[in-house]
Chain A
Amino acid sequence: MGEELLRVENVTKRFPGVLALDRVHFELRRGEVHALVGENGAGKSTLMKILSGVYRPDEGTLYYKGKPVVFHNAQEAQRAGISIIYQELNLMPHLTVAQNIFIGREPLRFGGYIDDRQMNRQARELLARLHVDIDPTTPVYVLPLSKRQMVEIAKALSFRSEVLIMDEPTSALTESEIDELFKVIHQLKQQGVGIIYISHRLEELKHIADRVTVLRDGKYIGTYNYSDITLEELVSKMVGRTLEHKFPPRTSSPTGRKIFEVKHLTRVGVLHDISFELYEGEILGIAGLMGAGRTELARAIFGADPKDGGEIYLRGRRLEIHSPIDAIRAGIGYLPEDRKLAGLAVEMLLCENITMANVEEISSRMGVIFPLRERKVAEHYVRELDIRTPSVYQVVKNLSGGNQQKVVVAKWLFRKAKVLIFDEPTRGIDVGAKYAIHKLMDQLAGQGIGIIMISSELPELLGMTDRILVLHEGRLAGVLRTRETTQEEILNYAAGLVSALS
C-alpha cells in the first residue's frame, strides 16, 4: 500500500448541544479504498465534511501529504486535490457533460470566449480514463443516475484529485451499474487515488475495501484491515452490541386465505400483463433490476399512476382504483420508496403525519379536528411502534430515518389498511433501525395484514419474505418460494436469463 495521503488526529467537532466528533482518527493512503462505516448519526458526514474543507475542526489537526493544513472552504480543499461526491449529485441537469465537468473553469479562447472544442476534448479524455462511454456533449438530464455519477467522478479527476470521497455511491444503482462503478474505482486505485468510501451496504465492501474505519456516536471505534474482520464483527462494532441475527425470525406465516389479487395488470410500455396473489399474513417480495417496473407496479396498484388494463381484487371483491383515494378507501396502503419526497410532510408534526390518511377519524362530521383525540392516537402508535421522539408534537424532519419510516407505517395502521406495499422500506436506514422495521413487518403480517415488499437488497428479500415475484422489463419473470431459492436464481430471473412463465 502506498504512502500516506491524508490523516486526521484527535479531531473534535461540536455543534450546539451535540458532540458530533469526539477525538476521531482517520488515515488514508495512496491507492487504497478506505471504507468509513457507522450508523446514522455516527459522525460520518461530519468527518467527511471536515476532510473536504466544509467544516473546520474545533480540535485536532488535518495532515495532507504529511503537512498540517487548514482548509477554509470546500474550494480550497478541492484545489489541493480533495474532491467529494455527495449522495445527491451536484450536477446542473440542463448543461452538457463537458459543461458540468468544467463549470467555472472553462478553457477560454482569446477574448474570453469559451473554447467548446477544447472543453469537449478534455472531457472526452477524462471519461476515457474511466473507461466509460459518455458523449461529453449530451445534456446531463438524459443520463441515468449511474452515468451522472461517472460524470461527477470525471469532474473530480479534472481537479487532479488525489483524494476522492464517495458518499453512498451505490444507493441508487442497479447491480450491473454497481459493477461498472467498482471497475472505475479499481482504475482509480491503480492510478494512485485514495478513496474514502461511505456506504450502508456492508456486503458490497468486500469487493473494494482495503481498510475500514468504524465510528459510533461520534467516537472512533477502530480501523481494521478488511480481510481481518468478518461482517458480523463489523456490524457489532457499529451498533455496539452483537446482532445475533441480521433479520428477525419470522413468527408469522401466510394463512390459506387469499386477501389480494392482481390480474393482467398492464400499463403500456411499463407493465405487461402482471398477475399475482397475496395471502393474509404473507410477506411477498418483489425483486428486479432498476427499471424492471417494481415501483411502477406498486404505484399502478395504488392508483398513483394510470393503468391501461387489469383487475384488482381485495377479499374477492373487485376494486375500481382510479386514484390513491380509491385504493386507500379499499384498504391498501403504500409506503413510497422516497419517504421525504412522497411519504411524509417532513415540516409537519409527527401526529399530523400519522393522522394524514384518516383525518375523518379524528374530526367531527362537520370537519372540526379534536386535538386531544389526535394526540391519543399518535401516542398510541408511538408506543406500539416504539417511535423514538420527545413528543407527538415533534416536527418529522427531526426524526431519524428509521423513526420516520415507522411514522409512515403508523399512518397506514391508523387507516386500518389490510394490504401494505413497502417500497424499499429500509433504504438509507441504519442497521439497528432496519432490524426494527423488519420486526415490525413480521408483526403486521402476524396480524393478518398482507404485505408486499419491494427491495433492491436480495438478502433482505431472502431474509423476510415468503415468496418473491421477480420482474424483468415490466414482465413477471418468475414467482419463487423464498425458502427454496437463492440469490443467484433470483438474479437469473431478474436479468431475463430464465423465465418460468414464458
Chain B
Amino acid sequence: MVVQRFVAISALIVLFVVFSVTTPKFFTVQNVLTVGLQTSTMAFMGIGVTYVIITGGIDLSIGSVIALSGVVAGLLSRAGIAVWVSFLCGLLVAMGCGMANGLLVTRLSLPPFIATLGMMQIARGVALQVTGARAVAGLPEKFGVLGNGALFRVTVLSGDGRQVVTFPGIPYPVIIMVVVACVFNFLLRRHRIGRFIYAVGSNEEAARLSGIDVSRTKIVAYLVSGALAGLTGIVMMSRIVTAQPNAGVGYELDAIASAVIGGTSLMGGSGTIAGTMIGAFIIGMLRNGLNMQGVSYFIQQIIIGLVIIAAVAADRLQRRSEK
C-alpha cells in the first residue's frame, strides 16, 4: 500500500508537470480551479466508497443514488419548497438508500455486491419513475448557487462599466470537498468508528469476538457512502440547474477506481482518505488535461483504464519482490 501511494503521488506530480508544460492554458488559476471543481464530485463518491471498501464491502448503488437524491431535491424545489430544505431531503433520501444497503448486508447477510446491485436498480428506477424519465428543469435560480457559486470572488469595474473578474473565487464544491475530506479523514483515523471500520475489514471474526458491533459498523459505512453519493447528486444537479434522472450512470466505478488507485484494497482492511483524494485527482486531472489536448473521450477511457491497472500492478509487483 505504501508503494502504491508513492506511485500514485508521483503519478499525480508527473501528470501535473507534463500537462503544465505541454498544454498552455493548463496551469492557470482558472483551470486549476476547474480541475478542483471537476474532481470534487469524484472525491465525494470516492471517500464514501472507501469507507465501504475498507469494511470489505462494495457499493454499486452510488451512481443511481446520485440521480435519486438530485431528482428529489429538484422536484421539491420546483414544487416551491425552499432550496436548502429540498437539498436536505435529497440528502436524507440518499442516506436512506445507504441505510437500506447496510441493513441488507448485515440483517439479511446479503453479499454487498448483490445488495447494492439491487439498490442500484431500485434507486434508478425510482428516479426515472417519479420524473417520468424527463429532466426536471425550470428550477429556481438559488438551486444553482451550491454548484456554481464561489467564495472570495474578486471583480473590478472596468472603464466601460462592465464587471471584470480578476479572481474567479474558490468554487463552493471545492470548499465542501476540502471540508468533507478533512472530516472523514479525521473520523477514519482518529475516531472510534474509524477504528471499528478497519477492525471489521481486517478480521471480522476477531472484531466480533472483541465486542465490536460489526453490524452497526457496517451500517455506518454504507450510510456514509449513501450520504456522500447524495451530496454528489445535489452538487451535480445544482451545477447544471437541472435534475437529471439519467445522471451518474456508472459513476460508482469511477469512485471505486479512485479508491483503488489510492491504495485501498478490495479485500478490506486497508485504505486511506488521502489515498482516495490522490486517486480522484489523478482521474480528474487526466480528464481535464486530455480534454484540453483534444484527446477524444474514448482514448481518455483507455488511458484511465491503463492507470487503474498500472497503479495496482505496481503494488502487486512490489509485494511479490518482498517475498
Interface residues of A (CB under 8 A from B): 302, 304, 324-325, 327-329, 334, 336, 341-348, 352, 356-357, 359-360, 363, 367-369, 371, 411, 415
In contact, A324 and B192 (Cβ under 8 angstroms): no
Tell me whether A347 and B208 are in contact in the complex, defined as CB-CB below 8 angstroms, given that A325-B213, A368-B190, A369-B192 are known contacts: no
Map CB proximity to A onto B208-238 as digits: 1 under 8 Å, 0 otherwise.
1111110000000000000000000000000
Within the assembled complex, what's the spacing in Å between the Cα atoms of A107 and B18?
59
Q: Give the B interface residue count (CB, 8 A).
A: 21
- Indicate the member of A302, A327, A356 with the most B CB atoms within 10 Å: A356
Question: Which residues of A are found within 8 Å of B191, using beta-carbon distances?
Answer: 363, 367-369
22 contacts between A and B (CB under 8 A): A302-B209, A304-B209, A327-B211, A328-B210, A342-B203, A342-B205, A344-B203, A352-B195, A352-B198, A356-B206, A356-B207, A356-B212, A363-B191, A363-B192, A367-B192, A367-B193, A368-B190, A368-B192, A369-B190, A369-B191, A411-B210, A415-B211
- Cβ of B148 < 8 Å from any Cβ of A? no
In contact, A346 and B210 (Cβ under 8 angstroms): no
Within the assembled complex, what's the spacing in Å between the Cα atoms of A345 and B198?
9
In contact, B198 and A348 (Cβ under 8 angstroms): yes
CB < 8 Å: which of B193, B206, B270 contacts A342? Answer: B206
- Cβ of B196 < 8 Å from any Cβ of A? yes
Interface residues of B (CB under 8 A from A): 190-193, 195-196, 198-199, 202-203, 205-213, 269-270
User: Distance (Å) between the CB of A243 and the closest chain B CB?
Assistant: 32
User: Distance (Å) between the CB of B211 and the closest chain A CB?
Assistant: 4
User: Distance (Å) between the CB of A302 and the closest chain B CB?
Assistant: 7
User: Distance (Å) between the CB of A210 and the closest chain B CB?
Assistant: 35
User: Distance (Å) between the CB of A410 and the closest chain B CB?
Assistant: 12
Question: Which residues of B are found within 8 Å of A347, using beta-carbon distances?
Answer: 202-203, 269-270
Tell me whether A345 and B208 are in contact in the complex, defined as CB-CB below 8 angstroms, given that A367-B191, A369-B192 are known contacts: no
Instruction: Name which residue of chain A comes closest to B193, CB basis.
Output: A367
Question: Which residues of A are found within 8 Å of B207, using beta-carbon distances?
Answer: 345, 356
Q: Which 3 A-B pairs have the closest CB atoms?
A: A345-B202, A328-B211, A367-B192
Within the assembled complex, what's the spacing in Å between the Cα atoms of A72 and B254?
43
Tell me whether A324 and B202 are in contact in the complex, defined as CB-CB below 8 angstroms, given that A347-B269, A367-B193 are known contacts: no
Told that A345-B202, A347-B203 touch, could you supply 16 new A-B pairs with CB distance under 8 A?
Answer: A304-B209, A325-B211, A334-B209, A343-B206, A343-B209, A344-B206, A345-B207, A348-B198, A348-B202, A356-B199, A356-B206, A357-B211, A367-B193, A368-B191, A368-B192, A371-B190
Within the assembled complex, what's the spacing in Å between the Cα atoms of A329 and B207?
15
In contact, B203 and A324 (Cβ under 8 angstroms): no
User: Distance (Å) between the CB of B182 and the closest chain A CB?
Assistant: 14
Question: Which residues of A are found within 8 Å of B199, using beta-carbon distances?
Answer: 345, 348, 352, 356
Question: Which residues of B are found within 8 Å of A415, using beta-carbon distances?
Answer: 211
User: Distance (Å) between the CB of A303 and the closest chain B CB?
Assistant: 9
User: Distance (Å) between the CB of B122 and the closest chain A CB?
Assistant: 31
Within the assembled complex, what's the spacing in Å between the Cα atoms of A344 and B202?
9
Within the assembled complex, what's the spacing in Å between the Cα atoms of A55 and B160?
81
Within the assembled complex, what's the spacing in Å between the Cα atoms of A352 and B210?
12
Within the assembled complex, what's the spacing in Å between the Cα atoms of A357 and B211?
6
User: Distance (Å) between the CB of B270 and the closest chain A CB?
Assistant: 7
In contact, A341 and B213 (Cβ under 8 angstroms): no
Tell me whether A342 and B209 are in contact in the complex, defined as CB-CB below 8 angstroms, given that A348-B199, A348-B202, A352-B195 are known contacts: yes
Within the assembled complex, what's the spacing in Å between the Cα atoms of A346 and B201?
11
In contact, B195 and A359 (Cβ under 8 angstroms): yes
- Indicate the member of B196, B198, B202, B269 with the most A CB atoms within 10 Å: B202
- Indicate the member of A348, A357, A371 with the most B CB atoms within 10 Å: A348
User: Distance (Å) between the CB of A305 and the closest chain B CB?
Assistant: 11
User: Distance (Å) between the CB of B216 and the closest chain A CB?
Assistant: 10
CB < 8 Å: which of A328, A343, A346, A360 contacts B192? Answer: A360
Within the assembled complex, what's the spacing in Å between the Cα atoms of A106 and B28?
66
Within the assembled complex, what's the spacing in Å between the Cα atoms of A325 and B203?
16
User: Distance (Å) between the CB of B20 and the closest chain A CB?
Assistant: 38
Within the assembled complex, what's the spacing in Å between the Cα atoms of A360 and B210?
12
User: Distance (Å) between the CB of A307 and the closest chain B CB?
Assistant: 16
Within the assembled complex, what's the spacing in Å between the Cα atoms of A369 and B212?
15
Question: Which residues of B are found within 8 Å of A304, using beta-carbon distances?
Answer: 208-209
Question: Which residues of B are found within 8 Å of A343, using beta-carbon distances?
Answer: 206, 209
Question: Which residues of A are found within 8 Å of B196, using beta-carbon distances?
Answer: 359
In contact, B195 and A369 (Cβ under 8 angstroms): yes
Instruction: Name which residue of chain A comes closest to B267, CB basis.
Output: A347
Instruction: Name which residue of chain B comes closest to A369, CB basis.
Output: B190
Question: Which residues of A are found within 8 Å of B203, using beta-carbon distances?
Answer: 341-342, 344-347
User: Distance (Å) between the CB of A322 and the closest chain B CB?
Assistant: 13
